[in-house]
Structure 1
């Protein structure tokens, strides 16, 4: 039973860490897109 609980805790931690990583990458990509958009608008 203890092994099962430990397995769920490890899996839950990995899942939460993965979500934070994906969310952070999405924000970085969004900021990069905004920078490109702003540069294109200024070049007009």
Structure 2
């Protein structure tokens, strides 16, 4: 269990580093949601 927590924390840090900031993560999520909305047709 402890190992899984470490892996999750490392993954979160790497994802945050890839977006550079917390704001960047939010923008990536918003852009993804907009793309999915376009596929659905809303």
TM-score (norm 1): 0.47
Higher RCO (C-alpha under 8 Å, 6+ residues apart): 2
Decide which structure has greater helix share: 1
